[in-house]
Amino acid sequence: MSSNRKGAAGLGAGKEGFQAGFGALKRALKKYFGYYPKLAPIVVICILTAAVVGSIPPLFMQKVITVIEDYVESGDWAAASPKIVRYVTILGSLYLLSWLLSILQTQVMAFMTQGFLDKLRKELFGGMQKLPIKYFDTHKHGDIMSHYTNDTDTLRQLVSMAFPMMLQALVVVLMLFAEMLWFSVWMTLVLIGGMVLMMQVTKRVGMGSAKYFLRQQKAVASTEGYVQEMMNGQKVIKVFNHEDIAKEEFDKLNNGLYEDSYKANAYANILGPIINNIGNILYVAIALIGGILITIDAPNLSISGLAFDISVLVPFLNMSKQFMANLNQLTMQTNSIVMAGAGAQRVFALIDEQPETDDGYVSLVNVKYDEKGEIEETTERTGKWAWKHPHKADGTITYEPLKGDVRMVDVDFAYEEGKDVLHDISVFAEPGQKVAFVGATGAGKTTITNLINRFYDIADGKIRYDGINVNKIKKADLRRSLGLVLQETNLFTGSVMDNIRYGRLDATDEECREAARLAGADDFIERLPDGYETMLKNNGANLSQGQRQLIAIARAAVADPPVMILDEATSSIDTHTESIVQKGMDKLMEGRTVFVIAHRLSTVMNSDVIMVLDHGRIIERGNHEKLIADKGTYYQLYTGAFELE
């Protein structure tokens, strides 16, 4: 809790934080207008026209009052009425034009705003797909989700409401200021005095509001992250009677959000009444001073040269009221700007995250063999693959058949610098071999498979695949050649068939069914309400853990890779089901290089090589018979002298 609060406070502290927020806003608006270079000018023209029309009435009011004064003096209504009708007609026409342009503006802006958010979310999601696994291991998933909801919503409010209102209010303020100078410089100076007071109040109150709105945005993300974590862990919470503790932790986060939101809105809500009251006081002051000037018949200083009388004072009062209202409108948008700045910072922080680096140039291609037995690259799916290796030195290209020979030599690795997880690891897996890793939790078994996939890069040593350094292989091609079944099964919203086909998107229905039969999943799938078309939701919550695992194994089978990684793949399956799956797994593993991580020693007994890990080191290696004969750690595990944990 304390770390979240400190982080939130740090986000809104200091001048640099505000500059970063405004910089992010500038970038967001540049994107917004950049997406629609033809529509953006239409919106701006509509806003400006509406603003200009909104500032014109005082001019017409002055002319109408002058006509009425002339009528009072002359009593000639026939001469006065056409002028009044003309002024009213012109003003009505301008208001009609403004109304039509406002309709056009709202429709165009609705299209632009939703299009902007659509493109922004696509950029967010597209960038997220390129991030390394480490990012997701070190950031709360709920916090990441908040980028797509709360943070983008602040930008929606900015571009759809705050920005148009600010632009219109700013133009009205400038137009009215020019008109007031036209009418009377003296009265405009009185107004400027009120403006100075208003700006000082806005600065003091607005800065406090900005700080807490920035903190609020961070607190919202933390709270959402915690809620998602608790939703995912509801079964664990209930089985351990952890409801009260979970509620207490949520209350702490929620109270922090309440404090930041309360203070932010307290500052924001007090600003409006203060500005309004300053405007009211200023209105009274202008009326009083103007009345005195008329009474003493004071000379008027103005651009127009008009004498200071009731025909100047009345429209000037209306202008001052309208001026202060629009100035208040400008200041009230401060909150939206600050929130959008905080949201934009977070959105662009995710967009600007460094993508997973990939400097590989060796690719995996479909090949066929000609009459001479030489490799030819082809676009057809032949079931035969080779590594296409361009050689920069002489410009030649060689093809190395994909065999599944994986070798790790003297590998060291640390997730955090200075805290080694693996020490001097050497593994030699020849094509078709089954290599098993056993050891206590945290010994480094899963880390080894993460390095083979290049989810993380090694600190020292070499990993070679078919004799090629994996750093030279494009990551997508490397991973395409590897099948992976994890202990934690991930199923996606869609049919059972869709989830199996996830392993290879061009697989036919029959190939998916064959993969399911191979994994031993076909029997239970056929008994589902809609068979292979049964819809799965919430990570397959309507299936048992074992059934979900069988679908995951079928998904790996349909990919048909030369190398399989089984990370506790049968840990969630009962002994009876495991015996069924094991037959399919044996067929699946035929002719493939297989890495197996398992706590059940029965799963690894028939492995070609078994490696026992302890604290990131390989302490024993050999097949089952050899390790039993050595009577070391593996023997102790097998005979039950001590447990893996």
* Domain boundaries, given as residue ranges, for the chain: 2-351, 363-401, 406-639
Half-sphere exposure of 621 (CA within 13 A, CB side): 12
pLDDT at 14: 46
Q: Is 158 exposed, middle or buried (0-12, 13-18, 19+ CB in 10 A)?
A: buried
Residue 339 has pLDDT above 90, yes or no: no
Cα separation of 619 and 439, whole Å?
10
pLDDT at 60: 67
Residue of 32, 15, 345, 12 whose CA lies nearest to 163: 32
**DSSP H or E segment with residue 152:** helix 152-157
Contact 226, 278 (CB under 8 A): no
Cα separation of 412 and 259, whole Å?
47
Most confident stretch, 160-169, 220-229, 424-433: 424-433
Confidence class for position 188, pLDDT limits 50, 70, 90: confident
How confident is the prediction for the chain on average, in pLDDT? 82
Residue 2 has pLDDT above 50, yes or no: no
Cα separation of 287 and 31, whole Å?
46
Higher pLDDT, 238 or 245: 245
SS3 state of residue 452:
helix
Which residues face 349 on adjacent strands?
Answer: none
| Count of Cβ atoms closer than 10 Å to residue 159 Cβ | 21
Residue linked to tokens 């995951």? 552
Contact 42, 33 (CB under 8 A): no
pLDDT at 26: 87
Higher pLDDT, 611 or 142: 611
Dig out the tokens for 642 from the structure.
Answer: 């001590």
pLDDT at 210: 63
| Count of Cβ atoms closer than 10 Å to residue 447 Cβ | 21
Q: Is the pTM of this model over 0.75?
A: no
Cα separation of 404 and 591, whole Å?
9
Q: What is the mean pLDDT of residues 227-247?
A: 73
Higher pLDDT, 406 or 566: 406
Higher pLDDT, 521 or 94: 521
Residue 578 has pLDDT above 50, yes or no: yes
Higher pLDDT, 424 or 313: 424
Q: What is the mean pLDDT of residues 627-643?
A: 79
Most confident stretch, 64-78, 281-295, 618-632: 618-632
Contact 311, 62 (CB under 8 A): yes
Q: What is the DSSP letter of 532?
A: G
CA 385 to chain centre: 37
Q: What is the DSSP letter of 150?
A: I
Residue 513 has pLDDT above 90, yes or no: yes
pLDDT at 9: 36
Q: Which segment of 118-132, 269-283, 422-436, 540-554 scores lowest on mean pLDDT?
A: 269-283
Which residues face 425 on adjacent strands?
Answer: 411
Cα separation of 366 and 481, whole Å?
12
Cα separation of 473 and 131, whole Å?
18
pLDDT at 388: 92
pLDDT at 235: 61
pLDDT at 62: 63
Q: Which segment of 354-363, 453-462, 536-545 scores lowest on mean pLDDT?
A: 536-545
> At 262, phi and psi to the nearest 5?
-60, -50
SS3 state of residue 15:
helix
**Distances from the Cα of 128 to the Cα of 118, 136, 276, 346, angstroms:** 15, 9, 46, 13
Q: What is the mean pLDDT of residues 76-104?
A: 78
Identity at 125, one-letter amino acid code = F
Dig out the tokens for 16 from the structure.
Answer: 């640099």
Residue linked to tokens 């099964």? 489
Buried b (16+ CB within 10 A) or exposed e, 191-208: beebbeebeebbeebbeb
pLDDT at 106: 87
Q: Which segment of 271-280, 340-349, 547-556 scores lowest on mean pLDDT?
A: 271-280
Identity at 333, one-letter amino acid code = Q
Residue 583 has pLDDT above 80, yes or no: no
Residue linked to tokens 């208003």? 198
Confidence class for position 12, pLDDT limits 50, 70, 90: very low
Q: Please tell me the CATH code under which domain 2-351 is placed.
A: 1.20.1560.10
**Distances from the Cα of 259 to the Cα of 113, 176, 203, 256, angstroms:** 31, 40, 22, 5
| Percentage of the residues of the chain whose pLDDT score is greater than 70 | 85
Higher pLDDT, 209 or 633: 633
Confidence class for position 278, pLDDT limits 50, 70, 90: confident
Rg (CA), the chain: 36
Cα separation of 485 and 243, whole Å?
33
Q: What is the mean pLDDT of residues 484-495?
A: 83
Q: Does domain 406-639 have CATH number 3.40.50.10320?
A: no
Residue 372 has pLDDT above 80, yes or no: no
pLDDT at 138: 83
Q: Which segment of 50-64, 331-345, 615-629 scores lowest on mean pLDDT?
A: 50-64
By DSSP bridging, strand 419-429 and strand 406-416 are antiparallel
Contact 606, 624 (CB under 8 A): yes
By DSSP bridging, strand 397-401 and strand 385-390 are antiparallel
Handedness of CA 390, 392, 395, 396 (dihedral sign): negative
Q: What is the DSSP string of 301-338?
A: --SS----SHHHHHHHHHHHHHHHHHHHHHHHTHHHHH
